[in-house]
């Protein structure tokens, strides 16, 4: 394919006799499926060879830093971005060549995108009127959607008369009122304050479960992804670094990127100093720790010991001990985050409960973690498994 040209994907026509078989296949198909899609803008490839299967009724989050391709993928489902190669399926039906208005997609934007001159009723009813739904049914569906987002009786108000959180609820009601196959949420909470974001997380997840709709959520906020998702797709440079449940991607990061991006893990470089029995790793800071390795490792091989801040205890009886000195302390209420110098120009972060008082800068402490409380990466930054 020449640079700067999109591949023209021509669907294979289905015979009349195949329609019933296609419908039956669709009933058992994933809600959404990406098959090796590429998305390019001229010579720049924004998404490369991306594949993902999303089960019906699930909540899947595309998580990653700015520019990683997550929003581009979301917009490709809606038909707002053309793919350069591959296929996008919704309910077993190929849609990458289907017009936007025929994809039956609900979309919630970060900016709400409400019509400022239209009432709440007309904003929510917009998609129904476009679909030529009868007026009595429109009234019923709009009322039901507003009840679901906990804004009954607001039909006559204008968006300017609502708070930011209420406007986002109206945007959500508009997206679900016509019962779409898939609900797309493009960083819908980033414009809200912290308290409202937390409240809307709960509301969105509750509505998604009540309706059984398949939801695809885009965010760069790790806490949102971990608290809301059935599965998380961690994106990096246009590709999926890891796909798994929140527990899987947090507890067992597949790469150094995932470990660092999701939760800012401690990455302790070292070499295998004892391959037999409990595997021993001598860290760059000079200490030797015992770790649980999924397979035998060669003595002298370079590894990285990944330890989450929550896995590091202060004092206690953990098998591995790391003496150090507090560099800084951040009070968080029930816990504190400590930056600790453990020597050899190595600083680690510990998130520990407060036991009586917050430790002071310069105070000597001992951190500990258990051999099974870490993940090992090889020299290429891939999880050893």
Q: Domain coordinates of the chain in residue numbers?
A: 28-254, 264-377
E strand map for 261-343: 266-274, 279-283, 288-291, 302-307, 313-314, 320-331, 335-343
Reported pTM: 0.88
Phi/psi at 160 (5° precision): -65, -15
User: In sequence order, which residues have a C-beta less than 8 Å from that of residue 166 and are 6 or more positions away?
Assistant: 151, 154
Share of the chain above pLDDT 70, in %: 93
Q: How many residues does the chain have?
A: 385
- Give pLDDT tens digits for 296-345: 999 999 999 999 999 999 987 889 999 999 999 999 888 999 999 999 88
- The H-or-E segment that residue 141 falls in is helix 135-148
Helix (H, G, I), strand (E, B) or coil at 72: helix
Q: With beta carbons less than 8 A apart as the criterion, state whether 326 and 365 touch.
A: yes
Predicted pLDDT at 329: 95
Per-residue pLDDT, averaged over 151-170, amounts to 94
The token duo for 227 is 């608290």
Q: How does residue 12 score in pLDDT terms, banded at 50, 70 and 90? A: very low
Q: Residue 142 and residue 126: Cα distance in Å, rounded? A: 10
In the CATH scheme, what architecture does the domain 264-377 have? Beta Barrel (2.40)
What average pLDDT does the structure give for the chain?
90
pLDDT at 26 over 90: no
Predicted pLDDT at 125: 95
Predicted pLDDT at 27: 66
* Topology adopted by domain 28-254: Rossmann fold (3.40.50)
- Give pLDDT tens digits for 162-216: 998 899 999 999 999 999 999 999 999 988 888 889 999 999 999 999 999 999 9
pLDDT at 10 over 50: no
Q: Residue 63 and residue 81: Cα distance in Å, rounded? A: 19
Q: How does residue 29 score in pLDDT terms, banded at 50, 70 and 90? A: confident
Q: Residue 203 and residue 184: Cα distance in Å, rounded? A: 15
Q: How does residue 237 score in pLDDT terms, banded at 50, 70 and 90? A: very high
Predicted pLDDT at 269: 96
């Amino acid at each position: 394919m020449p640079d700067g040209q999109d591949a023209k994907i021509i669907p294979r026509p289905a015979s009349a006799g195949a329609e019933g078989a296609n419908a039956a296949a669709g009933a058992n198909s994933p809600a959404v499926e990406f098959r090796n899609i590429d998305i390019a803008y001229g010579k720049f490839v924004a998404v490369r060879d991306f594949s993902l299967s999303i089960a019906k009724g699930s909540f899947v989050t595309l998580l990653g830093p700015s520019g990683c391709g997550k929003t581009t993928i979301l917009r490709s489902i809606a038909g707002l971005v053309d793919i350069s190669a591959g296929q996008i399926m919704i309910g077993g039906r190929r849609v990458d060549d289907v017009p936007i208005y025929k994809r039956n997609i609900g979309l919630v934007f970060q900016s709400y995108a409400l019509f400022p001159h239209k009432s709440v009723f007309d904003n929510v009813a917009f998609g129904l009127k476009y679909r030529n739904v009868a007026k009595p049914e429109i009234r019923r569906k709009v009322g039901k959607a507003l009840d679901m987002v906990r804004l009954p009786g607001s039909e006559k108000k204008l968006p300017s008369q609502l708070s930011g959180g209420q406007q986002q609820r109206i945007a959500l009601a508009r997206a679900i009122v016509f019962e779409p196959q898939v609900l797309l949420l493009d960083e819908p909470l980033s414009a809200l304050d912290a308290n409202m974001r937390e409240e809307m997380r709960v509301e969105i997840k509750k509505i998604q479960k009540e309706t059984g709709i398949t939801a695809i959520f885009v965010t760069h906020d790790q806490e949102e992804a971990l608290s809301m998702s059935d599965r998380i797709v961690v994106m990096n440079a246009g590709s999926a670094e890891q796909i798994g449940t929140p527990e899987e991607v947090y507890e067992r990061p597949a790469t150094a990127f995932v470990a660092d991006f999701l939760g800012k893990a401690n990455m302790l470089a070292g070499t295998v100093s004892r391959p037999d029995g409990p595997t021993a790793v001598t860290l760059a800071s000079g200490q030797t720790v015992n770790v649980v390795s999924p397979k035998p490792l060669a003595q002298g091989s370079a590894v990285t010991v990944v330890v989450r801040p929550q896995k590091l205890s202060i004092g206690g009886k953990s098998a591995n001990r790391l003496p150090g000195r507090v560099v800084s302390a951040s009070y968080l209420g029930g816990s504190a985050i400590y930056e600790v110098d453990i020597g050899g120009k190595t600083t680690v972060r510990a998130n520990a409960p407060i036991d009586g008082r917050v430790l002071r800068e310069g105070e000597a402490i001992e951190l500990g973690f258990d051999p099974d409380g870490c993940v090992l990466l090889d020299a290429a930054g891939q999880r050893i498994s």
